[in-house]
């Protein structure tokens, strides 16, 4: 195994662990996880959660702080998430 493939594997598993941690946090707060890694025309949405009040689209970024993670989401990525979220909502009753 090359050093690059080891780094890639570590990053993949760290991302998976971060995603699970975020999903667990939402579940503790009364949300159900409707989808993981939902793919629409605009791209992938890491988590889609629901509660009685509505739907939440979640992009998971592993980082030392919320502020650092939020700063890593580009306008282009936000636009792709919006496009995929709109496509997802079109499939829902009352979309």
Domain ranges within the chain, ordered by starting residue: 3-90
pLDDT-derived band at 6, boundaries 50, 70, 90: low
Among the residue ranges 19-23, 56-60, 64-68, the one predicted with the least confidence is 64-68
Put residue 30 in one of left, alpha, beta given phi > 0 → left and psi -120 to 50 → alpha: left
pLDDT of amino acid 5: 66
User: Has this prediction a pTM greater than 0.85?
Assistant: no
Closest CA to 80 of 41, 32, 37, 22: 41
Domain 3-90 indexed as CATH 3.40.1350.10: yes
Show the tokens assigned to 41: 């025309």
pLDDT of amino acid 56: 96
Residue with the larger pLDDT of the pair 59 and 6: 59
Closest CA to 34 of 80, 84, 94, 45: 45
pLDDT of amino acid 3: 67
Beta bridge partners of 33: 49
């Amino acid at each position: 195994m090359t050093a690059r493939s080891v780094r890639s594997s570590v990053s993949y598993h760290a991302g998976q662990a971060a995603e699970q941690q975020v999903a667990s946090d939402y579940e503790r707060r009364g949300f159900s996880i409707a989808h993981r890694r939902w793919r629409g025309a605009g791209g992938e949405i890491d988590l889609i959660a629901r509660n009685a009040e509505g739907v939440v689209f979640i992009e998971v970024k592993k980082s030392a702080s919320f502020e650092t993670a939020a700063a890593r989401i580009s306008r282009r990525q936000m636009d792709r998430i919006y496009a995929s979220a709109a496509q997802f909502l079109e499939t829902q009753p009352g979309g």
